[in-house]
Amino acid sequence: MTTQSNGVIDVADVSKWYGSVVAVNEVSFQVNPGITALLGPNGAGKTTMLHLIAGLAKCSDGQITTLGEPVRNNPSLYQRVGFMPEHESVYGFYTGRQLVEFSAKLYGLSPLGEAVDRAIQIVGMEDAQNRTMDGYSRGMRQRMRLAAAIVHDPQVMILDEPLNGTDPRQRIEFQEVMERLASQGRTILISSHILEEVETMAGRILLMVSGKLAASGDFRAIRAKLDEQAYQVRIVVDEPRRMASAIVSLDDVDSVSFDDDGSIVVLSRKVATIQTTLPRMAQENGIRLTRMEPIDESLESLFEYIVER
Return residues touching another protein (CB under 8 A).
51, 54-58, 73, 75-79, 81, 83, 85, 87, 89-91, 93, 102-103, 105-108, 148
Shortest spacing between CB 174 and another protein, in angstroms: 20
CA gap 209, 38 in Å, rounded: 11
> Residue 95 or 232: which CB sits closer to another protein?
95
> Residue 84 or 202: which CB sits closer to another protein?
84
> Residue 4 or 76: which CB sits closer to another protein?
76
> Residue 73 or 249: which CB sits closer to another protein?
73
Shortest spacing between CB 71 and another protein, in angstroms: 10
> Residue 99 or 206: which CB sits closer to another protein?
99
Check: CB of residue 273 under 8 Å from CB of residue 233.
no
> Residue 5 or 47: which CB sits closer to another protein?
47
> Residue 4 or 73: which CB sits closer to another protein?
73
Find residue 38's DSSP bridge partners. Answer: 191, 206
Shortest spacing between CB 273 and another protein, in angstroms: 41
CA gap 170, 163 in Å, rounded: 8
81 Rama class: left (phi>0) / alpha (psi -120 to 50) / beta = beta
Which amino acid is it at 191? S
How far is the CA of 191 from the CAs of 45, 48, 139, 244, in angstroms? 10, 11, 16, 40
Shortest spacing between CB 224 and another protein, in angstroms: 37
